[in-house]
Structure 1
Amino acid sequence: MPEIKIYTQPGCPYCMRAVALLKSKNVQFAEVNAPRGTPERDEAISLSGGQTTVPQTFVDGKSLGGCDDLMRLERTGQLNGLLGLS
């Protein structure tokens, strides 16, 4: 299975939605708390190529983007393959 990591912050509705989608897929993932101004947020920004918003999701180090990106991948049938489920 690929390594899945999602950077979130407490109270973020987009983060909750993205995490719920990953949970619905029954995949193991690491959720990293990354509020503004923390080293974790800086790491997410660096890994994502400058994206400053959360959530930011990565599979084996490759950025899948934020919540809207995950939802688009799900709608187009691409998410399962990226998560190693196909």
Structure 2
Amino acid sequence: MARVTIYSTGVCPYCQKAKALLQKWNIPFEEIRIDTDRSKLTEFARVTNGARTVPQILIDGKCIGGFTELTELHMEGGLDKLVEKPGH
């Protein structure tokens, strides 16, 4: 299974939606809150190539974008290719 990381904040509604979708699709993820751990801001900027909005979602270290890109990837069938689901 691919490693999924989501950079988020506690007040971002799109972060909540992205996490809810990942949970609904049974895709485990690691959440990194950049609002409660300021030391992660430098890491966030580096791994997302300077992104300025959250959520930012990484699959195996590759930034796929935010909530919109996550849902588009799922609707186009590309998410299953990136994240091998258990039992498939």
TM-score, length of structure 1 as denominator length: 0.88
User: Which stretches in structure 1 are left out of the alignment for 5+ residues?
Assistant: none
Divergent runs of 4+, >6 A = none
1:60 aligns with 2:47: no
Give 2:25's aligned amino acid: K
User: Which stretches in structure 2 are left out of the alignment for 5+ residues?
Assistant: none
Distance 2:37 2:25 in 1: 31
SS at match of 1:27: coil
Q: Larger Cα Rg: Structure 1 or Structure 2?
A: 2
The equivalences for 1:1-86 within 5 A come to 1-35=1-35, 38-85=38-85
Residue 39 of structure 1, CA deviation = 2.0
Distance 1:7 1:29 in 2: 10
SS at match of 2:6: strand
Distance 1:55 1:12 in 2: 8
Give 1:34's aligned amino acid: I
Residue 72 of structure 1, CA deviation = 0.9
Residue 42 of structure 1, CA deviation = 2.5
Deviates more, 1:45-54 or 1:76-85: 76-85
Give RMSD over aligned pairs: 1.8
Give 1:40's aligned amino acid: K
TM-score, length of structure 2 as denominator length: 0.86
Identity %: 35
